[in-house]
Structure 1
Amino acid sequence: MIDFSGIRLIAADMDGTLLNSKHEYDKGFPALYDHLKTKGVFFAPASGRQLYNLQNTFGELGSDMIFIAENGSHVQYQGRDLFVQSLPMDQVPELIRMARGITGVNIILCGKKQAYLESREPEFLRHVEMYYDRRVFVDDLLAVEEDDFLKIAICDLSGAEANSYPVFRHLEGELQVKVSGKIWLDLSHQLANKGRALQAVQQQLNISVEECMAFGDYLNDVEMMKQAYFSYAMTNAHPEVKKAARFETRSNEENGVGEVMQKVAEAIDRIR
């Protein structure tokens, strides 16, 4: 039997993990989260989503959550930045030019202040509105200044893993080149990923890997699986995530995250 009684930090990806296909968390999540919080357990949504989107998704419930946003490029707790890892400014123009050369993709320049868009293509905007709450249209992404750029997100409706990823694959090692969803490819600083962000949180709060639990489903979650002893891949996860994780739980449609969190709560209740 697994002993969950020492858990102090739980990190969970959002889409495909904590949230169901309607982009909703389970109705029992708020009470479960509040209960764990009273027991001293921290919760960190860890997502490719924008910080402001994560904050708005949870509202008042998230006032004490640790937000790991933009695939680990931006971490904030109670209004204070714990970690920011932006792209080198001199790399951004060339990456945008490369992305522009791929047929059928749309680009989001993800700044710390807000997201910047050129395209107004309706299907693209439908996805943008789901993940980026602070956004502005510009005539030319190359002309954007006075912001820290956390990542470049490429929305590839043809399929990111097969279509746009091969264009940037040779840059792995120099950058984080992550397929973060079926239609999403994210380009970030070499040192920006959810695992390093989680490590920064652990160091700030003096929490060990053995006291940490993480849930994920896609390729941008692999490093996070390695930074938590209790690493869980969803049943619906990408095969590479299942290889990286120690354990597996039910799908996001079956509240797999909540099921394990409930076991954590029960274990902690017995001793705290």
Structure 2
Amino acid sequence: MIKLILSDMDGTLLDENGQLPEEFDAVMEELHERGVQFAPASGRQYFSLLKSFKKYEDRFIFVSDNGTIVRQHGQELFSDVIEHKLAAEIFNSMNDHDGIYNVLCGKETVYLLRDKQPEAQMDELKKYFRLVEVVDSFEDIPEEPIKISFFTPDGDAAEKIYPLFAPYYDSMQVVLASAYWVDVTNKGATKGSAVKALQKRLGLKPEECAVFGDYMNDIEMMGAAYYSYAMENAFPPVKEAARFVAPSNAEHGVIKTIRGFMEQGLC
């Protein structure tokens, strides 16, 4: 029986307009009645997820920032912090590259440099982060870093940003999070590792978990649960890593598949 369901947000649970399916609340209520836990698992900041799911603040588990911090009932369950000196090195590594903008994610706030904040970046930031602070330098950031993200407004992150981090491929987790973003976290800090940590904490087996995703920052999740679903619109390597394929996000594939679970008596 499925007891825990985790879903990515953008390109997965949210439709092509960035909206939750109309059936979402009804399905969540039915899952709750069946004793099934739901967890949004996203590269988004916790407070961004909380804005989308305020009514579920005390019901959901929130896997945010690509699994580097997990919260329940507003309390941190676990996190994966980047060593400060290394974080500064990575954060500042792109300062001289035109068209690439760096963002440091702390546990509470997202920080960006004052001299590198084009309107395009601010618009994109608002999609994923709620608490944003502009600083003059890395040294002005008071929080522990959990993720460093790099953005290109041209949507060519795979070509423009990702190759630049080749020196860190072996020592850090460097992942193409979307066409616009590359995320850097500690090696092994992924949504998949967060799923495994939750399984251990909750006493669940992979056969009791389902996961949904569409992009490269979801790929480790596919190996952490038996019911691993790539969306029909997913990046090809994610489909290869998943055991099953769900209808596209435009077709509300996550909700349709969960409905299928209930109809089949899987949860």
Question: Post-superposition shift, 1:49?
Answer: 0.1
Residue 3 of structure 1: aligned partner: none
Secondary structure of the residue aligned to 2:177 is: strand
Instruction: Give the whole-Å Cα distance in 1 for the aligned partners of 2:139 and 2:244.
Output: 46
Instruction: Give the whole-Å Cα distance in 2 for the aligned partners of 1:196 and 1:252.
Output: 24
Out of 98, 107, 129, the residue aligned to residue 103 of structure 1 is 98
Q: Following superposition, which runs of at least 4 residues in structure 1 exceed 4 angstroms of deviation?
A: none
The correspondence of residues 51-66 of structure 1 with structure 2, limited to 5 A, is 51-66=46-61
- What letter matches 1:172 in structure 2? Y
Residue 44 of structure 1: aligned partner: 39
Structure 2: runs of 5+ lacking an equivalent = none
Out of 176, 186, 208, the residue aligned to residue 211 of structure 1 is 208
* Count of aligned positions: 264
Instruction: Give the whole-Å Cα distance in 2 for the aligned partners of 1:268 and 1:101.
Output: 55
Q: Deviations over 1:147-178 (max 9, x none)?
A: 11111111112311111000102312211101
- TM-score under structure 1 normalisation? 0.94
Residue 132 of structure 2: aligned partner: 135
Question: Post-superposition shift, 1:22?
Answer: 1.6
- What letter matches 1:43 in structure 2? F
Instruction: Give the whole-Å Cα distance in 1 for the aligned partners of 2:142 and 2:101.
Output: 22
Residue 146 of structure 1: aligned partner: 142
* Structure 1 position 125 matched with structure 2 position 114: no
The correspondence of residues 1-272 of structure 1 with structure 2, limited to 5 A, is 6-118=1-113, 119-140=116-137, 142-158=138-154, 159-268=156-265
Instruction: Give the whole-Å Cα distance in 2 for the aligned partners of 1:36 and 1:228.
Output: 18
Identify if the C-alpha distance between structure 1 residues 171 and 120 changes in structure 2 by more than 3 Å, giving closer, same or farther. Answer: closer
Structure 1: runs of 5+ lacking an equivalent = 1-5
Moved more, 101-110 or 253-262: 101-110
- What letter matches 1:221 in structure 2? D
Tell whether the 8 Å contact from 1:215 to 1:233 is kept in structure 2 after alignment: yes
Secondary structure of the residue aligned to 2:84 is: coil
Instruction: Give the whole-Å Cα distance in 1 for the aligned partners of 2:204 and 2:197.
Output: 10
Instruction: Give the whole-Å Cα distance in 2 for the aligned partners of 1:65 and 1:176.
Output: 26
- TM-score under structure 2 normalisation? 0.95
Moved more, 189-198 or 169-178: 169-178
Secondary structure of the residue aligned to 2:38 is: strand
Question: Post-superposition shift, 1:31?
Answer: 0.8
Secondary structure of the residue aligned to 2:98 is: coil
